[in-house]
Chains A and B, each alone.
Chain A
Amino acid sequence: MTAAVGIADVSKRFRVFREKPTSLKARLLTSRSRAEDFWALRDVSFDVAEGSTLGLIGHNGSGKTTLLKCVAGILRPTSGAVTQRGRLAALLELGAGFHPELTGRENVYLNASFLGLSRKETDAAYESIVDFAELEEFMDNQVKFYSSGMLVRLGFAVAVHVDPEVLLIDEVLAVGDEAFQAKCIDRVRTFQREGRTIVLVTHALDTVREICDRAVMLHHGVVHAIGAPDDVVREMRYVLLGQIDEGFVPEEGTREAEIAAVEIVRADGRSEGHVLRDDPFTILVDVRANQPVEDLDADFQILDGATNHPVLEARTSAAGVEIARFEGKKRVRFRVSAFPYNPGKYWITIGLSSRRTGLLYHVQTQRYLVEVIDVPRVQERVEVPVEIEVEDL
């Protein structure tokens, strides 16, 4: 596999001018412009294999769009190099070049030329573009009479008819209602089948897991994670959640009682990070009370790594298990009798709190990971009742 896009040590510095001299006067009067450096990208390196789809994720301001613009040749990297093979089209905005005074038809041609389609190619694709946009009867109206929804549809219709070998998509998919988004994802799948290389910038983490072969997570301009979409998305969620409390705080609490150790043990007594679907497993929580603790309440919560929704939780107090006043160590066993959820990755949050006041002693948010795997089993013979009927015709 050769790389369609190679990104080698790319850094991008922006000059943030407190007062940018935009006139000659200002230029002449201020001997040196006071610029502050802002590094949007720092030594970013990775390759995008030919025919693969790469998801680029990261929170706002992490440098995703800047990187995309460097690849597209809109921005010049401050250092490093981008190599790119084959025809490239960058969809950073829908309807680039649209002019309100022009008709829908004229705008299609104008916009298509910016996306690298020749007049002939646009002629050939025109019917299909109009179909996709569902705007047959409006194509000869000036687009200033279009609703914003119609404009988006037209812009997207042109965009999906581009014919590049490398396609850069920035957040463009995040427009329109769900039906329209489904249509767009569909289109991306078609691009994939056609063997095109795609780099997709998006906030929709589920989209990344669904359609990407690989993912890269940028964090403050550096590559924070790279690899299989599932892993990178999980890392992204981890970072996002860690940031709820300013920075990186997956743990909190007063620490009167502490979580000393946690272990996830399978039915066969081993703890290897993954369990079989439908099998029982046990969450062992070792608690250390640094001072006498009267009303300890221990709980766990399991969250689906894909959706971040809690799927299972339990709490000693709710189960009627009372932990008497103690100092020193205790072990709590949560025996999960079966785990009938979809295969995938699940995050486990462990918490220790006060039964009476709700005060948090120690919480580790989504600190532990368990992967549920589904092993294909030989179908056993099962007796199923069969009803038989005969009727006259």
Chain B
Amino acid sequence: MTATSGTVERTSEPPRLRVGARLRVLFAHREILANLIRKELKVKYTASVLGAVWSLLNPLVYLAVFTFVARVLGAGIPDFPVYLLSGLLAWNLFSAALTSGASSVLDNSNLVKKVAFPHEILPLSVVGVALVDFVLQTVVLFVFILVSGYGFHWPELALWPLAFLTLLVVTVALSLWFSAVNVRYRDVGHLLSIALIVWFWATPIVYAGYQVQELAEERAGDVPWFALYFLNPMASIVGGFQRALYGVVWPEGSATPVLFDVSLGWLAGVLGIVLVASIVLLRLTWGAFFNRSADFAEEL
């Protein structure tokens, strides 16, 4: 399975990433990845009686609490639980993967120093674990949307795969980068956790996206403020998830629109651009990771 049949040459040259060849190497080592993800999930849930139910409980509690809170406080966003969770689950995947991804190489220093394997597997396994939680929680949300009578919106739902793919690429790209940089500069991890707090509030998850749009359009002038907002890739990704699941831009019973008041095509276009940019970013961070990974064993 080591897939290094044929001749391998190891020189002093810093390794250059060849995507195709590297993908084949990663594919050959897929069982390590699968085993690591399985291990993480086992370790996470094995000592608990309810196991993976805990992962499902999290969105369930959110749904229950926010249904209740929205009723009592009459928050400005109708069907707030659906709105919140459609964006929050995506954010949770992103932030969980980045936080543990950053320390993934450090935490496994013993493996890195003693075993030859493609190191990308370490941050990838962390993303994989976050992905499993995301999928479980998304199932809960989908069931809630169906059972509560909220229902799916078409063609908005078609945006979901695009938003999901973009989210995945961005998450993998950044996890790779942070895990590599964190090997040399250990405070990157701390920096990241602070940055994630700011980032969370800079992304319309608990507040309505339209509020940002309104703010930007008030100060319009010559600067396309609102378009600039999408430089935050999470804004467009979370916006995409919300459009796909929450569906309606201006729900009945709301004084203003809730979602970004843009056409579906426009949002899809922005997501497409973010996706392309993320793929470029992934290529860059992967290259950087690969380049540094040859010296991980030395630096740890």
A83 near B7: Cβ-Cβ < 8 Å: yes
A119 close to chain B: CB less than 8 A: yes
**Known: A27-B185, A102-B42. Contact between A77 and B7, CB under 8 A?**
no
Q: State A213–B10 Cα separation when bound (angstroms).
A: 25
How many A-B contacts at CB < 8 Å in the complex?
121
A78 CB contacts on chain B under 8 angstroms: 12
A90 CB contacts on chain B under 8 angstroms: 115-116
A250 close to chain B: CB less than 8 A: no
Complex interface residues of chain A between 80 and 97 (CB less than 8 A to chain B):
80-90, 92-93, 96-97
Q: CB within 8 A of A96: which of B6, B11, B114, B185?
A: B114
Count of B residues near A, CB < 8 Å?
44
Name the distance in Å between B86's Cβ and chain A's nearest Cβ.
34
B187 near A87: Cβ-Cβ < 8 Å: no
A70 close to chain B: CB less than 8 A: yes
Q: State A109–B34 Cα separation when bound (angstroms).
A: 11
**Known: A72-B116, A102-B42, A121-B1. Contact between A23 and B185, CB under 8 A?**
yes
Complex interface residues of chain B between 86 and 119 (CB less than 8 A to chain A):
110-117
Q: State A118–B28 Cα separation when bound (angstroms).
A: 9
A114 near B39: Cβ-Cβ < 8 Å: no
Q: State A80–B295 Cα separation when bound (angstroms).
A: 16
Q: CB within 8 A of A118: which of B5, B31, B184?
A: B31
A379 close to chain B: CB less than 8 A: no
**Known: A90-B116, A101-B46. Contact between A83 and B2, CB under 8 A?**
no
Q: State A136–B287 Cα separation when bound (angstroms).
A: 45
**Known: A101-B43, A118-B1, A118-B31. Contact between A77 and B11, CB under 8 A?**
yes
A75 close to chain B: CB less than 8 A: yes
Name the distance in Å between A109's Cβ and chain B's nearest Cβ.
6
Of the four ranges (under 10, 10 to 19, 20 to 34, 35 or more), the interface on chain A belongs to 35 or more
Name the distance in Å between A45's Cβ and chain B's nearest Cβ.
14
Residue of A nearest to B186 (CB): A22
B39 near A74: Cβ-Cβ < 8 Å: no
B15 CB contacts on chain A under 8 angstroms: 76
Q: State A87–B34 Cα separation when bound (angstroms).
A: 21
**Known: A109-B35, A121-B1. Contact between A22 and B10, CB under 8 A?**
no
A24 CB contacts on chain B under 8 angstroms: 185, 187-188, 191
For B34-71 the 0/1 string (1 means CB < 8 A from A) is 11101100110011000000000000000000000000
B298 close to chain A: CB less than 8 A: yes
For A1-45 the 0/1 string (1 means CB < 8 A from B) is 000000000000010000001111101000000000000000000
Q: State A25–B191 Cα separation when bound (angstroms).
A: 12
Q: State A87–B2 Cα separation when bound (angstroms).
A: 6
Complex interface residues of chain B between 165 and 189 (CB less than 8 A to chain A):
184-188
B12 near A79: Cβ-Cβ < 8 Å: yes
B284 CB contacts on chain A under 8 angstroms: none
- Please list 28 pairs of residues, one from A and one from B, whose beta carbons are closer than 8 Å in the complex, sorted by A's number: A22-B184, A24-B188, A24-B191, A25-B187, A74-B112, A74-B297, A77-B11, A80-B11, A81-B12, A82-B10, A83-B8, A84-B7, A85-B8, A88-B2, A88-B8, A93-B110, A96-B111, A97-B35, A101-B47, A102-B39, A109-B35, A110-B36, A110-B39, A113-B35, A114-B111, A116-B2, A118-B31, A164-B2
Chain A residues packing against B (C-beta within 8 Å): 14, 21-25, 27, 69-90, 92-93, 96-97, 99, 101-102, 106, 109-110, 113-114, 116-119, 121, 164
* 11 extra interface residue pairs, beta carbon distance < 8 Å, beyond A24-B187, A81-B10, A83-B9: A21-B185, A73-B116, A75-B298, A78-B12, A84-B9, A85-B6, A93-B110, A101-B46, A101-B47, A102-B42, A164-B2
